[in-house]
Every structure is written in C-alpha cells, then in structure tokens.
Amino acid sequence: MSSLDRFLIISVVLLASVFPVELFPNTGPMPRGGDGQFSGKQGQVVVVTIPELREATSVKGRFLGRTVTLFPNPAAGGTGYIGLLGIDLQDEPGAHELTVDAQLGEQGRHFSYQVLVVKEKFAVEHLKLPKDKVDLDEKAAARWKAEQEQVRKALAEESAMRLWQTGFIEPVHGKRTGIFGSVRIMNGQPRNPHNGEDIGAPMGTDVMASNDGVVRLVVDHIFSGRGIFVDHGLGLYSMYFHLSDVLVNEGDLVKAGQVIGKVGATGRATGPHLHWGMKVNGARVNPYALLGLPFPQNPAAARSLVAAPSRLSPAESNPIAVGSDTR
Ligand SMILES: [Zn+2]
C-alpha cells in the first residue's frame, strides 16, 4: 500500500467519524432530505416553501406521521408552495424527514426534506391547588376522558379550506401568567406540560378570534371550563379556555378580531385568565409562534392592542397564585 493510499484511507475514516453518515450513502441508510433542510424548536412553527413546485393538482406533506398542508404561496404571486409545519412541544429533538408528494396532472413528484427539531428549554412551574382539583375521583376521571375524546373527534376532520388570508392576532393583550410548554408540578406531582399560553386579564375582558374561521366546538369542560375551538382551515385550530361568557355557537363563521367570549376563571383555573392554545395539524405549538408568520398583517391586530385590559390588580399579576391552569 502506498503512503498516498494509506493517507486516503485514514482521511476517509476520520471524515466518517466527523460527518454524519448521510455523506456516505454507500455505507449507511439511504440519504434523506436531499431536497433541502429546515429547522425549528419544539413548539414552534416552521414555514416550508417549495418554490420549484407549480400548478400541482394535489400536494401533501407528511412529518412524524402528521399531515402538513401546503398551498400556493400568496407572497410569491401564487407560484411555488408554502406550508406551516408545527413542531409539537414533545417531538423528539434531532433530524426527521418531511416528505412532500405532489401530483401534476398524470405526473407525480416526490420531495424529501430534513427537518432538524431543536430542543427547547421549557420552564418548570410549581402550582399549589386544592387536593380535589388535582386528584380526580373515578367519576371526574371518566368525565375528563370523555371530554378528551370529544375534542379529538371534533378536531380529527381535516379542514380542507384555508379560511384565513392574513396573519394571526393576540386574542387578549395582557401579562403572560402561564408559560407554554412548562413542565407542571402540581401539589408535588408532575403533570402534562402546559400546551398553551395563559394571558392574565381582568374578569370580563373581551376575547377576540385570532383569525378568520368557523367555530368547531363550544364546551364546558372539567379543566378547560367554558371553551371555544375555532377551525381556521388546513389543520389550524385555536382554543380559548376558562371563559366567563361564550358569545358564539358551533358552526358560526368568525372574523379575526371579532369578540367571541369574555375572560373568566371557569374550569380548573386559579384566577381570571385566557388560556390560548393553537394546534397545527395535531402539533401543540406556542400560539405566539403564529404571530410572526410571513403573511400580511390583519387590520384587527392594531385593535388587539387598543383592547388591552386596564392594569391588573396586584393579586391578578401574581404569576403563580392567579391566572393559571393545569392542562
Ligand atoms: Zn393554560
């Protein structure tokens, strides 16, 4: 073996130990993500764009077993496709594949992207609640299970129509009292991570629809209290919980900025606040992640700020004692 051969072999071995196996397709699994890369943190929304895809009759994305809906990119004058990929707050960090299958008349096209899920450092919140609010008896546990099933069924249907054209808005402007994704220790026991944001606001403050959509479900649940689920189309849902009043009915069309309810403390809540949640094709994402998307601003966004509640009372601004919940 010449010294050059030896040098090359050693170089390859060294490179293989430094670079991911995808660089050496002959020695590892088939390369995935050949069409590009995206990345985002747990609980965030990744904007996926495919500029080279045009005039498809159907486009469908898949990521970790979930559907990713893509639609003609309005910012690009209708050429190319854009989609919102929700990264669930508990998606495994690391590289995962997003596949996109498009049909252009008779011809099918397949795209493969690598999506890097970056670990988010979620806070830990300790909450102290009355014992019977944490430890459910048999009857309450059965009720909770049935309620979860009701929500799952209502949100399972894929809403094909995109009902919104502009960006999302904050439904209530206030102090955030419960943090998205936080690990919750209730009376010393670990519970599910917090799947929304809690916005502290005085009782009766207007709650606005975050975007155009249709009211899919109105509930009065053991934990969520009086709540509204709005279907925005293409797998996007917004949720508004613990309301004192609900001003819409199932099936109603709502507009961004429309007052749909009032802040309350119904269900398992330690004080008046809005629990605002968003789901993107089944992924629980931080609702505030929807505010920064590259869509034209909704005129109601300005009103959202004007509708800010008057200053919170000292009790209401206590982040732990008041204005939090426990799902
Ligand atoms: Zn909450």
Residue 1, pLDDT score: 55
Angle at 70 (CA atoms; ends 66, 72), nearest 5 degrees: 175
| Residues at Cβ < 5 Å from ligand 1 ion | 178, 196, 198, 275, 325
3-class SS of residue 285: strand
Residue 79, pLDDT score: 82
- The CA dihedral of 218, 220, 226, 228, to the nearest 10 degrees, is -20
Nearest to 236 by CA among 195, 178, 179, 285: 285
Distance 164 CA to ligand 1 centre (A): 25
Instruction: Cite the DSSP H helix spans in 43-137.
Output: 131-134
Distance 185 CA to ligand 1 centre (A): 14
Q: Using the structure block, give the residue that is written with the tokens 């398992």.
A: 268
Residue 315, pLDDT score: 37
Residue pair 59/138 in contact (Cβ under 8 Å)? The answer is no
Distance 284 CA to ligand 1 centre (A): 13
Residue pair 216/236 in contact (Cβ under 8 Å)? The answer is no
3-class SS of residue 183: strand
DSSP designation for 174: S
Distance 327 CA to ligand 1 centre (A): 7
What does the pLDDT profile of the chain (327 residues) look like in tens digits?
A: 556 566 555 555 555 444 444 444 444 444 578 899 999 999 999 999 999 888 888 899 999 999 998 998 888 777 899 999 999 999 999 999 999 999 988 899 999 999 999 999 999 988 887 787 777 889 999 999 999 999 999 988 767 788 998 999 999 999 998 889 998 888 888 888 999 999 999 999 999 999 999 999 999 999 999 999 999 999 999 999 999 999 999 999 999 999 999 999 999 888 999 999 999 999 999 999 999 888 888 888 876 654 444 434 333 333 333 466 755
Cβ-based neighbours of 210, under 8 Å, separated by 6 or more: 168, 169, 170, 171, 230, 232, 238, 256, 276, 278, 287, 290
Q: Using the structure block, give the residue that is written with the tokens 């109105």.
A: 218
Distance 101 CA to ligand 1 centre (A): 36
**Is beta strand 183-186 parallel, antiparallel or unpaired with respect to 124-127?**
parallel
Does the global pTM surpass 0.85?
no
Distance 198 CA to ligand 1 centre (A): 5
- Please tell me the distance from the alpha carbon of residue 291 to that of residue 283, in angstroms, as a whole number: 16
Distance 112 CA to ligand 1 centre (A): 36
Beta-sheet strands, E only, within 51-192: 58-63, 66-68, 70-72, 81-86, 94-104, 107-118, 124-127, 175-178, 183-186, 189-191
Residue pair 43/88 in contact (Cβ under 8 Å)? The answer is yes
Residue 9, pLDDT score: 57
Distance 295 CA to ligand 1 centre (A): 27
> Rounded to an integer, what is the distance from CA 21 to the centroid of its chain?
31
3-class SS of residue 147: helix
Distance 178 CA to ligand 1 centre (A): 6
What are phi and psi for residue 41, nearest 5 degrees?
-85, 160
